[in-house]
Amino acid sequence: MEMKKFVAGLSVSVMAIGALAACGGGSDSESSSSESGSKKPSKIVIWEDTDKAETTKAAAKAFEEKEGVKVEVKEVKMTDQQKKVALDGPAGKGPDIMLLPHDQIGTVVDQGLIAELKDGEKALEPFIDTAKSAVTFDGKVYGYPKAVETPILLFNKDELKEAPTSMDDLYKLSTEKKKDGQYGFLALWDNFYFAHGPIGGYGGYVFKDNGGKLDPADIGLNNKGAVEGMDYIGKWYKEGLFPKGLIGGGGGQAMDQLFGDKKAAAVMNGPWAVAGYKEKGINLGASELPKLPNGEPIKTFVGVKTYAISAYSENAEWAEKFLASLTGEENAKTMFEKYNEIPPVTALQEDATIKDNEVAAAVFAQAKNGVPMPNIAEMGQVWEPMAAALQLVATNKQDAQKSADDAVKQIKQQIEANNQ
Domains and CATH numbers, the chain: 26-149+302-372 (3.40.190.10), 152-300+376-418 (3.40.190.10)
Span 160-175, pLDDT tens digits: 999 999 999 999 999 9
Strands annotated E in 272-385: 284-287, 301-310, 371-372
Is residue 110 a contact partner of residue 97, using CB atoms and an 8 Å limit? no
| pLDDT at site 118 | 95
For residue 99, the surrounding DSSP H or E stretch is strand 97-101
Q: Is 332 helix (H, G, I), strand (E, B) or coil?
A: helix
Q: What is the mean pLDDT of residues 96-103?
A: 98
- Between CA 118 and CA 63 the distance in angstroms is 20
Amino acid at 355: K
| pLDDT at site 212 | 82
- Between CA 307 and CA 104 the distance in angstroms is 12
Q: Which of 30, 52, 218 is nearest to 147 (CA)?
A: 52
Alpha-carbon distance values, 120 to 126, 286, 314 (Å)? 12, 34, 18
Span 40-72, pLDDT tens digits: 999 999 999 999 999 999 999 999 999 999 999
- Between CA 323 and CA 46 the distance in angstroms is 10
Q: What is the mean pLDDT of residues 325-340?
A: 96
Mean model confidence pLDDT for the chain: 91
Q: Is 202 helix (H, G, I), strand (E, B) or coil?
A: coil
| Alpha-helix residue ranges (DSSP H) falling in 135-191 | 167-178
- Between CA 401 and CA 112 the distance in angstroms is 39
Amino acid at 48: E
- Between CA 183 and CA 338 the distance in angstroms is 35
Span 277-289, pLDDT tens digits: 999 999 999 999 9
Give the whole-number percent of the chain exceeding pLDDT 90.
Answer: 88
Q: How confident is the model at residue 37 (pLDDT cuts 50, 70, 90)?
A: low
Record the pTM.
Answer: 0.88
Q: Does 196 score more than 70 pLDDT?
A: yes
Name beta bridge partners: 99. 307
Q: How confident is the model at residue 28 (pLDDT cuts 50, 70, 90)?
A: very low
Is residue 308 a contact partner of residue 100, using CB atoms and an 8 Å limit? yes
What is the CB-side half-sphere exposure of residue 361 using CA atoms within 13 A? 12
Q: Does 238 score more than 50 pLDDT?
A: yes
Q: What is the mean pLDDT of residues 227-256?
A: 96
The separation between the first and the last C-alpha atoms of the chain, rounded to the nearest angstrom, is: 33
Q: How confident is the model at residue 207 (pLDDT cuts 50, 70, 90)?
A: very high
Angle between helices 224-238 and 400-418 (to 10 degrees): 120
| pLDDT at site 323 | 98
Give the whole-number percent of the chain exceeding pLDDT 70.
Answer: 91
Alpha-carbon distance values, 4 to 206, 223, 226, 234, 340 (Å)? 16, 25, 21, 23, 17
Is residue 268 a contact partner of residue 197, using CB atoms and an 8 Å limit? yes
Q: How buried is residue 339: exposed, middle or buried, by Cβ count under 10 Å (0-12/13-18/19+)?
A: middle
Q: How confident is the model at residue 102 (pLDDT cuts 50, 70, 90)?
A: very high
Alpha-carbon distance values, 410 to 73, 277, 377, 407 (Å)? 44, 38, 16, 5
- 279 φ, ψ (degrees, to nearest 5): -65, -25
Span 343-380, pLDDT tens digits: 999 999 999 999 999 999 999 999 999 999 999 999 99
